[in-house]
C-alpha cells in the first residue's frame, strides 16, 4: 500500500469513528401506544425511500443522497429479532390485520448507504453507511425503575395507598380481603404443589389488569413484568404480592422467621429487583443513544379526566429514568446517555389535519413536567403528532354552511368508505367538568389496501427520521 493510500485509509477510519455512523434508537410506550406499528413503518420507510424518495423532510432522502437500505442481522444474537416481514405480511394480506403488539424486547438493524454531503469528509470518502439499531421494549418495564429504590415494606405501603382509591376499590376489594386474611407470619412451603403464593399473586395481578382494562389506567401498582412477563413467564420471582395489613406493616420484621410468608415475599421482591429490573436497565437503558416514547393521546381523550391524570403521572414516572441525574443513587447505577428524546402522540390519522396542532399542544401540556425534567439533564426533547400507518385521508365537507375538516377511511364493519368528524380536540388541559362535556370519538378505520413493496402511508414519519437520525447522514 502506498504512503498516500495508507494515509487516506487512516483518515477515513478516524472520520468514521469521529462521525459515529451508528445509532441505537429505542422505541417505547405503554401497551397499545403503537410501538409495533411504528417500527414496522420506520423500517419500511427506510427500505423504500431510495426508490420512492417519499420522505420529503428527511434530508438525505430529499437531497437524493440515500442510495440503498437493507435489513441486517443484528449482532446481539441472544435478543429476539423484530419480525418486520411478519408485520408486513399481516398488514398487506388478503384480510389485513395489525401486527401483534410488543410483548417483550426485540431488536432490528438497518443499514443505509448514502452519498456524503460534508465537503471535508467528501474529500476522503464519497459514500458511507449509517447503521441503525432499533430496540423495542414495553414502557411498563420502565415503570419498574423506582422499585430499585424501595424496600419490600416500602413497596407494600405504596400499594396500600394506591389501592385505597375509590375507583380501584371495586375491583380489588376481594383480593384485598384475601390478602389481609392471610397469616403472613406463618411458614410457607415454597415447594408445595398448591403454590399458595403463586395463586394469590395471580389473582392480585388479574384484579388490577381487569381494572386497567375498564378504566384505561396505566399507573398500576404492578411490577412491569406482571403485565408483560417476557422471558420470565411462569418464574417464581413473579409470584409475590404486597402485604396490605397496616398492623403488620408497622411491625419490625427483623425477628420474623425466614420461611414465613413475609420473608418469602420479600425474597422474591428483592430477587425481582436484582435479577430482573437491574439487568434490564443495564442492558438496554444505559446503551441507548436516542429514545422515542409513543403516547396514545386519542384514547386518553376518549377515556375521561381520571384516565388523563393517571396517564400524565405514568408518563412522568416513565421518563423519570432520564431525569434521575439529580438522584444520586440512580445516577451511580445507570447513566442514561441519550442526547435526543422524541415524545410523539401516535395514530394522528384519526384526527383531521387542521386539528393535529391542537392534539400536539394538548399532549405537550400533558407531558410538560416530564419534558422539563428530562430537558434539565441536557437532553434535547421534541414533540410531534404522527401516524406510523395512516388509515385515512383528509377530506373537507360542509356543515351548516361551514367548511368542516374530516377524515375518510374504510368502515370497520362494512368496509365501505365513510367520512368521520371526531369532534373538537382540546388544545389545553381541561378541568373535570369541562372533560365531562367533551364530545369526542376517534373511531378507528379498517386498514386500507396496502402493497408490501411500497411505502406505507404515514403522517410525519419523515420528520421523525430527520429528528432522530438525520444528523448521522452528513
Ligand atoms: P404496541 O402495544 O405499542 O406495540 O402497539 P401496536 O403497535 O400493536 O398498536 C396497537 C394498536 O393501535 C394496533 O393494533 C392498531 O389498532 C392501532 N395502531 C397502531 N398504529 C397506528 C396508526 O398509525 N394509526 C392508527 N389508526 N392505528 C394504529
Q: Supply the mean pLDDT for the chain.
A: 91
Over residues 241-276, the pLDDT tens digits come to 999 999 999 999 999 999 999 999 999 999 999 999
Across the range 466-474, mean pLDDT stands at: 96
pLDDT the model gives residue 323:
73
Ligand 1 mean position, distance from CA 35 (Å): 7
Give the pLDDT score at 448: 96
Q: Separation of 122 CA from ligand 1 center, angstroms?
A: 41
Per-residue DSSP letters for 382-433?
A: EEEE-BSS--EEEEEEEETTEEEEEEEEE-TTT--EEEE---PPPSS---HH
* Domains present along the chain, CATH in parentheses: 3-137+284-390+449-472 (3.40.50.300), 147-278 (no CATH)
* Ligand 1 neighbourhood includes 33 CB (under 6 angstroms): yes
Give the mean model confidence (pLDDT) for residues 426-448. 94
Please say if the pLDDT value at position 325 is more than 60: no
Mutate to test the pocket of ligand 1, among 42, 83, 98, 458 (most ligand atoms within 8 A of CB): 98
Q: Quick one: angle between helices 196-215 and 261-271, nearest 10?
A: 60
Q: Is the CB of 96 under 6 A from ligand 1?
A: no
**Confidence band, pLDDT 50/70/90 cuts, at residue 16:** low
Pick the residue whose CA is nearest to atom 11 on ligand 1: 32
Mutate to test the pocket of ligand 1, among 26, 30, 34 (most ligand atoms within 8 A of CB): 34
Angstrom distance (rounded) from CA 469 to CA 459: 17
Residue 3 has pLDDT above 60, yes or no: yes
pLDDT band at 95 (very low <50, low <70, confident <90, very high): very high
Residue 134 C-alpha to ligand 1 middle, in angstroms?
A: 18
**Distance separating alpha carbons of residues 131 and 115, to the nearest angstrom:** 15
Which residue CA neighbors atom 25 of ligand 1 most closely? 347
Residue 448 Cα to ligand 1 middle (Å) = 14
Q: Whose CA is nearest to atom 14 of ligand 1?
A: 98
The answer on pLDDT for 335 being more than 70 is no
Give the residue-averaged pLDDT of 175-184: 95
- Checking if the pLDDT of 351 tops 80, the result is yes
Q: Is 340 in the pocket of ligand 1 (CB under 6 A)?
A: no
Q: Strand, coil or helix: what is 457? A: coil
Nearest CA to ligand 1 atom 17: 34
C-alpha to C-alpha distances, 331 to 82, 316, 321, 443, nearest whole angstrom: 30, 18, 9, 43
Distance CA 124, CA 395 (A): 50
Q: Are 385 and 296 in contact (CB under 8 A)?
A: no
Q: Tell me which residue has its CA closest to atom 21 in ligand 1.
A: 347
**In the chain, what's the furthest Cα-to-Cα distance?**
83
Question: What is the structure's pLDDT at 14?
Answer: 53
Among candidate residues 289, 456, 458, the one with its CA nearest the CA of residue 385: 458
Is the pLDDT reported for residue 173 higher than 60?
A: yes
Mean pLDDT calculated for residue range 202-215 = 89
Q: Give the Å distance between the CA of 434 and the centre of ligand 1.
A: 28
Percent of the chain with pLDDT over 70: 93
Please tell me the residue having the least CA distance from ligand 1 atom 22: 347
CB 387 within 8 A of CB 459: yes
pLDDT at 177: 95
Q: pLDDT tens digit string along 102-155?
A: 999 999 999 999 999 988 888 888 999 999 999 999 999 988 988 998 999 999
Residue range 168-182: mean pLDDT, rounded: 91
Residue 87 has pLDDT above 90, yes or no: yes
Instruction: Compute the average pLDDT of residues 384-400.
Output: 96
The tens digit of pLDDT for each residue in 38-71 reads: 999 999 999 999 999 999 999 999 999 999 999 9
Q: Is residue 457 within 6 Å of ligand 1 at its C-beta?
A: no
Task: Name the pairing type of β-strands 106-115 and 22-29.
Answer: unpaired
Give tens-digit pLDDT for 154-165.
Answer: 999 999 998 988
Residue 4, pLDDT > 80, answer no
Q: What is the pTM of this model?
A: 0.92
> What pLDDT is attached to residue 170?
82
Residue with cell 418469602: 264
Query: Does 219 score more than 80 pLDDT?
Result: no
Residue 13 reports pLDDT greater than 90: no
Cβ–ligand 1 distance for 61 under 6 Å, the answer no
Burial (Cβ within 10 Å: 0-12, 13-18, ≥19) of residue 114: buried
The CA-CA-CA angle for residues 243, 249, 255, to 5°, reads 100
**Ligand 1 touching residue 347 (CB < 6 A):** yes
Give the distance from CA 280 to its chain's centroid. Answer: 15
pLDDT band at 11 (very low <50, low <70, confident <90, very high): low
The residue whose CA has the least distance to atom 8 of ligand 1 is 101
H or E element in which residue 26 lies: strand 22-29
Distance, CA 98 to ligand 1 centroid (Å)? 7
Q: Strand order of the sheet with strand 392-399?
A: 392-399, 402-410, 417-420
Q: Give the pLDDT score at 7.
A: 61
> Per mean pLDDT, which of 20-29, 229-238, 464-473 is the most reliable?
464-473
How far apart (Å, rounded) are the C-alpha atoms in residues 414 and 320?
Answer: 44
The reported pLDDT for the residue numbered 373 is 84
Amino acid at each position: 500500500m502506498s504512503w498516500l493510500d495508507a494515509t487516506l485509509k487512516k483518515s477515513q477510519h478516524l472520520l468514521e469513528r469521529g462521525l459515529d455512523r451508528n445509532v441505537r434508537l429505542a422505541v417505547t410506550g405503554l401497551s397499545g401506544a403503537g410501538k409495533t406499528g411504528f417500527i414496522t413503518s420506520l423500517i419500511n420507510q427506510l427500505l423504500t425511500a431510495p426508490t420512492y424518495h417519499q420522505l420529503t423532510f428527511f434530508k438525505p432522502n430529499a437531497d437524493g443522497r440515500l442510495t440503498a437500505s437493507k435489513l441486517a442481522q443484528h449482532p446481539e444474537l441472544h435478543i429476539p429479532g423484530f419480525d418486520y416481514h411478519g408485520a408486513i405480511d399481516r398488514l398487506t394480506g388478503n384480510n389485513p390485520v395489525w401486527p401483534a403488539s410488543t410483548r417483550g424486547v426485540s431488536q432490528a438493524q438497518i443499514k443505509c448507504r448514502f452519498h456524503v454531503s460534508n465537503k471535508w469528509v467528501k474529500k476522503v470518502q464519497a459514500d458511507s453507511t449509517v447503521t441503525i439499531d432499533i430496540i423495542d421494549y414495553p414502557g411498563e418495564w420502565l415503570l419498574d425503575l423506582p422499585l430499585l429504590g424501595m424496600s419490600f415494606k416500602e413497596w407494600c405501603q405504596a400499594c396500600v395507598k394506591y389501592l385505597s382509591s375509590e375507583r380501584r376499590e371495586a375491583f380489588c376489594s376481594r383480593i384485598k380481603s384475601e390478602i389481609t386474611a392471610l397469616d403472613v407470619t406463618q411458614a410457607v412451603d415454597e415447594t408445595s404443589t398448591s403454590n399458595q403464593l403463586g395463586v394469590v399473586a395471580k389473582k392480585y395481578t388479574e384484579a388490577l389488569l381487569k381494572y386497567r382494562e375498564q378504566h384505561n389506567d396505566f399507573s398500576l401498582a404492578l411490577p412491569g413484568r406482571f403485565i408483560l412477563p417476557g422471558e420470565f413467564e411462569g418464574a417464581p420471582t413473579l409470584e409475590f404480592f404486597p402485604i396490605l395489613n397496616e398492623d403488620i406493616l408497622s411491625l419490625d420484621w427483623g425477628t420474623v422467621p425466614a420461611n414465613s410468608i413475609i420473608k418469602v415475599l420479600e425474597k422474591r421482591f428483592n430477587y425481582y429487583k436484582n435479577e430482573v429490573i437491574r439487568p434490564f436497565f443495564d442492558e438496554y437503558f444505559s446503551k441507548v443513544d436516542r429514545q422515542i416514547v409513543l403516547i396514545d393521546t386519542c384514547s386518553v381523550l376518549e377515556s375521561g379526566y381520571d384516565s388523563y391524570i393517571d396517564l400524565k403521572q405514568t408518563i412522568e414516572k416513565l421518563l423519570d429514568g432520564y431525569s434521575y441525574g439529580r438522584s444520586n443513587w440512580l445516577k451511580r447505577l445507570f447513566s442514561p446517555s441519550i442526547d435526543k428524546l422524541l415524545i410523539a402522540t401516535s395514530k394522528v390519522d384519526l384526527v383531521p389535519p387542521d386539528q393535529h396542532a391542537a392534539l400536539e399542544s394538548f399532549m405537550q401540556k400533558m407531558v410538560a413536567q416530564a419534558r422539563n425534567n428530562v430537558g434539565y439533564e441536557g437532553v434535547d426533547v421534541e414533540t410531534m403528532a404522527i401516524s406510523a400507518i395512516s388509515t385515512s385521508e383528509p377530506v373537507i365537507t360542509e356543515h351548516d354552511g361551514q367548511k368542516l375538516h374530516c377524515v375518510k377511511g374504510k368502515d370497520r364493519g362494512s368496509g365501505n368508505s365513510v367520512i368521520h368528524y371526531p369532534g373538537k380536540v382540546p388544545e389545553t388541559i381541561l378541568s373535570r367538568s369541562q372533560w365531562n362535556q367533551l364530545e369526542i370519538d376517534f373511531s378507528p378505520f379498517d386498514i386500507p389496501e396496502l402493497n408490501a413493496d411500497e411505502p406505507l402511508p404515514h403522517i410525519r414519519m419523515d420528520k421523525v427520521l430527520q429528528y432522530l437520525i438525520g444528523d448521522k447522514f452528513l
